[in-house]
Amino acid sequence: MLNQKVTSLVAGIALTTVAASASAGLALKDEKSGIGLNLGGRLQTQVLFNDEDRGNNEDTEFKVRRGRIRLGIDPHPQWSMFLQTDVANNGAPGGGFDVRMIDAFITYKPSKLFQVISGQRMAPVTRQNLTSSGALMTVDRPGITNYNLTWGLSGRTAFNNAGLAGTGIGQMGDVAVRDLGVTIFGSGDMNSDTHFKYYFGVSEGSERNKPADTERVTARAQLNFGDAEAGYFNLSTYLGKKDTIAIGVAYDSQDEIAVDATTGQGVDYTLWTIDAFMDKQVGNGFLTLEGAWTDLDLDDAGIMNTSAGAAINATTTGKTVQGDGFYIQAGYLMGNWQPFFMYEEWDSDGAAGAGSWDNIRGGVAYYFKGHNANVRAAVEKTGNDAAGAADITTAVINFNITY
């Protein structure tokens, strides 16, 4: 009897391992209880080559960009839970890395059209917010993706590894890179070639700085023509496995996230964004195009204080941070090779260009096994319009394994 059980377990693992090779994670199922389990991980390591204007005193920098273990459990056909950890340098000399929980949520899914996701999860804002970090075409997300309440309301440089001086007020949410709340999500088909999905979320948002008890409200809708992108997350390139055009629009807001130090009034946060995506065969290869425009409003605020009266950033105003910007990125897959390009810029409402910047990056990826194993090499140059700021040039080699 014991040998029979062991044999059944090994066979189950073998079968699910084969199935998992076409996707991410090792899927197991207890046939007696019906409970399913999915185990996976992601490791992204980088070698960064910085010029002196980066200002971090490391010409060559070795970095663990992401190191994650994820666990999904399905105790019931309509219920599931998801946990994901990440590692982060704790900043202490010789201190190594701290492990933190970045995702912890429960999903109730009575149908594909209606799902409820509750806990610590990604708030549904921009397309890049909702793009898997294991499938980022141009090494990492565009820097302007961080102009939302989840990721700090600031510009980023060095392949999204560093804050850009004078462009932001820093992290506003209580939970780094995620938010605590509930999202209603669903996807469906209007016909065989037209598909949709929607998100509506209510989150804690900024809890530390706001003078009033307000909630963050986020709404997003997306249409796909051709193949569907039915899941909660998108990919930045489908490597020839989809033929689709997508258009998305989103709204994100929270009242009184801070206090204007000059007027004493609460500062409201409002963000609008529209994005477009295309993945199609062109010639003998596959062309990926993506772009988005974002508008951020912070009530034309000056220096912004916490509710306790301390300045969030003593030199950067809300007007310097708010503004609008866009990015465009493209890649062309030929066999296992994919050269890529990205351009982005942010135009702030600050005086004399303060808070405005632009960024260009280009490189090439080689896919050993799609998004499961690949390497990218790229160069990026960031121009900062702040007075006295120098351009920042960074090169990177990025290694990625996702399972």
Residue 250 has pLDDT above 70, yes or no: yes
CA-derived radius of gyration, the chain: 22
Backbone angles phi, psi at 164, to 5 degrees: -100, 120
Residue 121 has pLDDT above 80, yes or no: yes
Q: Are 49 and 59 in contact (CB under 8 A)?
A: yes
Give how far Cα 242 sits from Cα of 53, 226, 234, 239, 288, Å.
41, 8, 12, 8, 10
End-to-end CA distance of the chain: 33
Q: Are 272 and 231 in contact (CB under 8 A)?
A: no
Distance (Å, rounded) from C-alpha 107 to C-alpha 115? 7
Q: Spell out where 192-322 has E strands.
A: 194-203, 216-226, 244-260, 266-282, 285-297, 304-305
Q: Determine the distance from the C-alpha atom of residue 99 to the mean position of all C-alpha atoms in its chain, rounded to a whole number.
A: 19
Which residue's structure tokens are 């982060």? 88
Residue 118 has pLDDT above 90, yes or no: yes
Q: How confident is the model at residue 13 (pLDDT cuts 50, 70, 90)?
A: very low
Would you state the pLDDT for residue 91?
57
Distance (Å, rounded) from C-alpha 4 to C-alpha 315? 69
pLDDT in tens, 186-215: 999 999 999 999 999 999 998 766 677 899
Would you state the pLDDT for residue 94?
67
Amino acid found at 158: A
Name every residue whose Cβ is closer than 8 Å to that of residue 57 and which is 6 or more positions away in sequence.
Answer: none
Distance (Å, rounded) from C-alpha 355 to C-alpha 317? 9
Q: Confirm whether pTM is higher than 0.95.
A: no
Q: How confident is the model at residue 18 (pLDDT cuts 50, 70, 90)?
A: very low
Residue 22 has pLDDT above 50, yes or no: no
pLDDT in tens, 331-388: 999 999 999 999 999 999 998 889 999 999 999 999 999 999 999 999 999 999 987 8
Would you state the pLDDT for residue 179?
95
Would you state the pLDDT for residue 241?
97
What is the CB neighbour count within 10 angstroms for residue 363? 23
Which residue's structure tokens are 């820097």? 143
Q: How confident is the model at residue 95 (pLDDT cuts 50, 70, 90)?
A: low
Q: Are 250 and 232 in contact (CB under 8 A)?
A: no
More confident residue, 88 or 301: 301
Would you state the pLDDT for residue 335?
98
Would you state the pLDDT for residue 65?
94
Helices (H), 316-359: 318-321
Amino acid found at 153: L
Residue 3 has pLDDT above 50, yes or no: no
Distance (Å, rounded) from C-alpha 217 to C-alpha 208? 17
Mean pLDDT of 294-308: 93
Q: Determine the distance from the C-alpha atom of residue 350 to the mean position of all C-alpha atoms in its chain, rounded to a whole number.
A: 26
Q: How confident is the model at residue 89 (pLDDT cuts 50, 70, 90)?
A: low
Would you state the pLDDT for residue 173?
74
Supply the DSSP symbol for 135: G
Would you state the pLDDT for residue 140?
98
pLDDT in tens, 304-326: 988 888 888 888 999 999 999 99
* Nearest partner of 181 among 129, 105, 238, judged by Cα: 105
Measured CA angle at 281 (ends 276, 283), to 5 deg: 130
Q: How confident is the model at residue 328 (pLDDT cuts 50, 70, 90)?
A: very high
Mean pLDDT of 27-39: 89
Q: How confident is the model at residue 275 (pLDDT cuts 50, 70, 90)?
A: very high
Would you state the pLDDT for residue 90?
59
Q: How confident is the model at residue 9 (pLDDT cuts 50, 70, 90)?
A: very low
What sign results for the dihedral spanned by CA atoms 137, 141, 142, 148? positive
Supply the DSSP symbol for 234: B
Residue 20 has pLDDT above 80, yes or no: no
Would you state the pLDDT for residue 93?
62
Give how far Cα 79 sits from Cα of 103, 110, 174, Å.
16, 8, 27
Residue 21 has pLDDT above 60, yes or no: no
Q: Are 89 and 58 in contact (CB under 8 A)?
A: no
Would you state the pLDDT for residue 132?
95
